[in-house]
Amino acid sequence: MRAVVVRRFGGPEVLEFAEVPVPEPGPGQVRVRVAAAAVNPVDLATRAGVLSAAGVVPPRAVLGLGWDVAGVVDDAGGTRFRAGDAVLGLRDRIALPLGAYADYVVLDASAVALAPPGLSPVEAATLPLTALTAAQALDLVETAGTVLVTGAAGAVGGYAVALAHARGLRVVAVAGEADEALVRELGADEFVPRGPDLAERVRALVPGGADAVLDTALLGLDALDAVRGGGEFVAFAAGAAPNPLRGVRVRGVWIRADGDRLAGLAATLPPRVADVLPLGHAAEAHERLAAGGVRGRLVLTP
C-alpha cells in the first residue's frame, strides 16, 4: 500500500511516498481503509523536526504523518466494530512509522467512533483532532464565566468558541477583522481584532480581565495579560505556556484519543473543510497550511 513518511526533517520536499506492507491490527485494534485524512499543524511540526527537538517525539528512522482519519473498517479485529462500518478516528501515537496519510491505518478501537449519518468522509476527517483538542482544553477551565479564545477563526479556536458558548460561558473571540462574522456565528459574544495592545482592548470589554483564556493562537504573554489575577490560561503547544504571573493557573492541553467523546462531538459540531487534495499532493497541502489563512482543514484523499 502507499503511505507518506518522513525519513529526514525539513520542508515539504522531504515528504516521501513509500510502498509498505498493509498493517495488521493487534488486540483491541481495528484497521481502517482510509477515505480521507486531514492535514494539521502538528503534521508540519513533525515533518520539520520541531516535535523531536522539543522532546515530544523520540528519535525514529521513519515517522508516519496524519492524525485525523475517516474511512471504513476493513478488519474489526474482534472489537465492537464490524467490517464495513463508516468511522472516524484519531491517531494520537505520533512516533509510529505509519500515520493516516496512507491507504490503511490501524487504530485502537477506543480511538474510533462511528461516523454520524449524512457526514461524508471528507467532512468527518476534519473533526477528530480539532474537536477533541477544543473540548479537552475547555475541560481544564474550572471557574470561567468569561473565556477569551485567541485564534478564534482557526480550526481549534472555532470549535472552542462553539463549545464554550454551548456551556453558557461569555466568549470573547480574537481573530482577524475579516473573520468577525464567522466567529460570531460560531457563538462569540464579543469580538476583538487581533493586533497590538490586546490586553487593554480585552479589558475595555471585560473590566479586570477575562476569567480564562484558551490561547490557540499561541500569543503567550500578550494573552496572559488579558486574564484577571488568579484566572486560568490554557496553552496549546509544547513550550508555549508562559510563566504563571499574577497567580494565573497555567496548564497545557495534551490531546488524547477518545472515541466515545468524538462520537458526540461529530454529531453536534459543523465540519470545516477548506479544500480537498489527492494524497499525492501532500506537499502542496503542507505548503498551503504553512502559508496561513486556511479556514478549516485541508483534506487528503487516497
Cell 496512507 locates to 102
Same domain, residue pair 11 and 110: yes
The three cell numbers of residue 165 are 458558548
In a domain, 133, yes or no: no
Give the C-alpha separation, 99 to 91, whole Å.
7
Q: Considering just the CA atoms, what is the radius of gyration of the chain in Å?
A: 19
In a domain, 136, yes or no: no
pLDDT at 295: 85
- Which residues lie closer than 8 Å to 282 by C-beta, 6 or more apart? 4, 12, 15, 39, 65, 101, 300
Give the C-alpha separation, 161 to 163, whole Å.
6
Backbone angles phi, psi at 129, to 5 degrees: -65, -45
pLDDT at 189: 97
Same domain, residue pair 68 and 38: yes
The amino acid sitting at 300 is L
Same domain, residue pair 75 and 116: yes
In a domain, 135, yes or no: no
pLDDT at 42: 94
- Element containing residue 184 per DSSP (H, E): helix 180-186
Q: Domain residues for 29?
A: 2-128+256-301
Give the C-alpha separation, 272 to 115, whole Å.
15
pLDDT at 198: 96
Length of the chain, in residues: 302
169-186, pLDDT tens digit by residue?
Answer: 999 999 999 999 999 999
Backbone dihedral region of 49: left (phi > 0), alpha (psi from -120 to 50 degrees) or beta? left
Tally of domains in the chain: 2
Regions of the chain short of the pLDDT cut 70 = none
